[in-house]
Structures are given as structure tokens and as C-alpha cells.
């Protein structure tokens, strides 16, 4: 259940962060809109990992990899969404890439670390 909740949180929160960032960046024109959207999504990706740690869905050792996985997934999702704007399916399904990135990141095993944590 914890992995499902992490997936859902990582699907939703970076998209919301991207939208808020784009709105804030819009005051600086088209470049600000894109920059704000990307930065907002990346910051929200870090928030996903922090919240997942606080909710005890992941361990502290998994936080960095989860944030990185979510951020990479968000960047892929943004690329897919921008290139499939003519269809509602592409942008809607692309949000799952951030969730998938979070799951992959949280499952990453570091050499030399205890696998029981």
C-alpha cells in the first residue's frame, strides 16, 4: 500500500508544482513560464521524497534516490506532455512517469548499504 501511495503522490505533486511554477513564472514571459514550470515540478519532486519519508513510506536512506527518480520521471513527463499537446491522452498519461520514477528511485540499492533498511 505504501508503494501505491508513493506512486500516486509522485504522479500528482510534481504536476501541481509545475503548474504553480508556470503560473508564477508567467509574469516573466514565455521563458519564465517554461522555467517556472520545470523548477516547480523539480522542487515538488523533492517534496514528494520528503513527504514520503515523513509518512514512513520510504526510509531516510531512500529519500535522495526517490527524489532523483521522481525528478527524472517528471522531466520525461514534461517532454512527453509538451510533444503530445494535440491529444489529451499523452499529457494525462505522462504524469505516471514521475510516479514510476519515484518507485524506481525508492527501490534503488546502494552498494555497501544494508539491504534491510
* pLDDT exceeds cutoff 50 at 117: no
Residue 112 has pLDDT above 60, yes or no: no
Average pLDDT, the chain: 90
Q: How far apart are CA 64 and CA 92, in angstroms?
A: 26
User: Taking a C-beta distance cutoff of 8 angstroms, is the pair 5, 57 a contact?
Assistant: yes
Mean pLDDT, range 18-47, rounded to an integer: 94
pTM over 0.95: no
Q: Domain locations in the chain? A: 2-107
**For 90-111, what is each residue's pLDDT tens digit?**
888 888 999 999 999 999 866 5
- With both helix axes pointing from N to C terminus, report the angle between 2-25 and 63-83 in degrees, rounded to the nearest 10: 60
Residue 87: partners with Cβ closer than 8 Å, 6 or more residues away: none
Amino acid at each position: 500500500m505504501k508503494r501505491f501511495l508513493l506512486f500516486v503522490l509522485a504522479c500528482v505533486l510534481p504536476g501541481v508544482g509545475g503548474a504553480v511554477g508556470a503560473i508564477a513564472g508567467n509574469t516573466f514571459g514565455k521563458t519564465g513560464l517554461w522555467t517556472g514550470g520545470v523548477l516547480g515540478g523539480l522542487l515538488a519532486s523533492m517534496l514528494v521524497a520528503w513527504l514520503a519519508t515523513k509518512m514512513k513510506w520510504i526510509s531516510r536512506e531512500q529519500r535522495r534516490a526517490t527524489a532523483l527518480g521522481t525528478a527524472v520521471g517528471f522531466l520525461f513527463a514534461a517532454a512527453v506532455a509538451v510533444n503530445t499537446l494535440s491529444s489529451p491522452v499523452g499529457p494525462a498519461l505522462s504524469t505516471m512517469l514521475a510516479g514510476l520514477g519515484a518507485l524506481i528511485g525508492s527501490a534503488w540499492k546502494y552498494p555497501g548499504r544494508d539491504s534491510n533498511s
